[in-house]
Amino acid sequence: MKYVIIGAGVAGVTAAETVRKIDSDGEIVLIGKEQFLPYKRYLLTEFFCGTISKEQLFSLSCEDLKRLKITFRKGQLAKSVDFENKKVKLFHNETVSYDKLLIATGGKPRIGPALRSFEKNLQLYYSLEDILLIKEKLDSVRTCVVFGQGLSTLDLMAGLKNLKKEVIYITKKPRAFFPLLQSNSDVDVHQFLSEKGVKIITNDRPVSVEKRDDKFIVETFNGEKLTADLVFAWDDYRPNIRFLENTKIDRKIGILVNEQLRTSVEDVYAAGDCAEIYHPKIKNYWINFGYPNAIEQGETAGKNMTGLNENYRIRETLVFHVLGKPFEARWWE
Ligand SMILES: Cc1cc2nc3c(=O)[nH]c(=O)nc-3n(C[C@H](O)[C@H](O)[C@H](O)COP(=O)(O)OP(=O)(O)OC[C@H]3O[C@@H](n4cnc5c(N)ncnc54)[C@H](O)[C@@H]3O)c2cc1C
């Protein structure tokens, strides 16, 4: 049996380990587009702040991969999937055949249309590559402007404050607002950020980000002009499934799966932030975001790929850690 897993994040790695526990002989191929060993994205801020080392970020070492007999295709992007012939096409046009396929490609941050033309002046805070780049510049960074409502933006601001940087957060709302947290958590996010020393500009939004010498000038709708060393933006987060365009697999925002994480295509599973799971309670599909869910889904998908029939137990809440402070987020009402 040949198991192919696209995406070497939390869900993909857990699935590979789970398959190996059950099937000691099967061939496992793990395809990851990043130029690193598989790593734990949710620990990036700890690495950014220096509380863990780069090595502690990695979920599998070269020795682990060898011991588990996992062929890791590092730095190789899956470009498309031919479901009829059970083949994954890689960026360099090599094809990898499979008997069972797991898609675990996670999600990626998006910048809204208003700032898209300034994208080259904006810094993302999402991957190990981003963090290494920011770390390189950090000594010369004093002031950062941050915009967006992604939960990781919150993590980033707390991290920057920990590193004694000046942080200015711009929000369109009357108070700092992170959609999935605010209504369900007893922690006031606006107050938490203010107490950390973040300057919050409310009821406003950036309209341009221009580079002048080695600084960035951010102009806002209400006429503020801010000078920053780095400008971060993260408007929303979407599953990484563009490579499945023009295929027959059912999808809405993410890949649609049932409670056993099976997609509409036979022998193809999806798990983690790229999957939308059917929730019988709300009778609809939903992305069950976050790393604890990705781990559990990876485990369920891995088991079911080997022939078991296990249901994924949907979690209604998850805890998002912002430098030691737990914030509860609820996905289901
Ligand atoms: C800074 C930060 C802090 C976070 N903190 C928390 C937290 O405290 N709590 C929490 O619950 N969640 C947190 N998260 C979110 C959490 O990391 C994700 O929910 C989790 O990693 C999802 O796991 P995944 O396996 O689905 O996706 P990922 O871990 O993103 O892995 C997907 C992998 O697939 C690869 N890939 C994508 N497309 C392709 C392709 N076509 N071919 C090959 N490879 C591909 C990607 O490069 C990536 O490595 C945080 C995220 C960030 C960025």
Q: Is the CB of 290 under 6 A from ligand 1?
A: yes
User: 93 CA to middle of ligand 1, Å?
Assistant: 25
Q: What is the pLDDT of residue 17?
A: 98
Q: What is the pLDDT of residue 185?
A: 56
Q: What is the pLDDT of residue 330?
A: 61
299 and 14 Cβ atoms separated by less than 8 Å: yes
Please check whether residues 289 and 271 belong to one and the same domain. yes
Q: Choose among 61, 74, 64: nearest CA to 32.
A: 74
Q: Which two tokens stand for residue 42?
A: 């949710």
Q: What is the pLDDT of residue 333?
A: 39
| Residue positions counted in the chain | 333
Q: Choose among 43, 325, 45, 330: nearest CA to 195.
A: 325
CA distances (Å), origin 305, targets 28, 91, 209, 241, 257: 11, 25, 47, 20, 14
* 3-state secondary structure at position 20: helix
**Residue 328 belongs to a domain:** no
Q: What is the pLDDT of residue 189?
A: 83
Q: Is the CB of 170 under 6 A from ligand 1?
A: no
**Residue 325 belongs to a domain:** no
Domain boundary pick from 215, 237, 259:
237
Domain boundary pick from 237, 266, 286:
237
**Residue 327 belongs to a domain:** no
Q: Provide the domain count of the chain.
A: 2
Please check whether residues 66 and 167 belong to one and the same domain. no
**Residue 176 belongs to a domain:** yes
Beta bridge partners of 279: 284
**Cα gap 64→316, rounded to integer Å:** 33
**Cα gap 290→320, rounded to integer Å:** 8
Q: What is the pLDDT of residue 270?
A: 98
Please check whether residues 230 and 171 belong to one and the same domain. yes
Structural domain containing residue 113: 109-237
Atom of ligand 1 nearest to the CA of 272: 26
Residue type, 109: P
**Residue 331 belongs to a domain:** no
Low-confidence ranges of the chain (pLDDT < 70): 180-187, 321, 323-324, 330-333
Please check whether residues 280 and 132 belong to one and the same domain. no
**Residue 164 belongs to a domain:** yes
**Look-up: residue for tokens 């022939």?**
307
**Residue 322 belongs to a domain:** no
**Residue 321 belongs to a domain:** no
Please check whether residues 102 and 244 belong to one and the same domain. yes
- Complex prediction ipTM: 0.99
**Cα gap 112→65, rounded to integer Å:** 38
Please check whether residues 101 and 246 belong to one and the same domain. yes
Please check whether residues 143 and 156 belong to one and the same domain. yes
Please check whether residues 115 and 172 belong to one and the same domain. yes
Q: Choose among 91, 80, 136, 102: nearest CA to 12.
A: 102
Q: Which two tokens stand for residue 6?
A: 């696209």
* 3-state secondary structure at position 263: coil
Domain boundary pick from 237, 256, 284:
237
Please check whether residues 122 and 229 belong to one and the same domain. yes
Atom of ligand 1 nearest to the CA of 156: 1
**Cα gap 119→159, rounded to integer Å:** 23
User: 10 CA to middle of ligand 1, Å?
Assistant: 7
Please check whether residues 249 and 175 belong to one and the same domain. no
Q: Is the CB of 115 under 6 A from ligand 1?
A: no
Please check whether residues 113 and 233 belong to one and the same domain. yes
Atom of ligand 1 nearest to the CA of 45: 1
Please check whether residues 114 and 232 belong to one and the same domain. yes
The domain that contains 164 carries what CATH number? 3.50.50.60
* 3-state secondary structure at position 165: coil
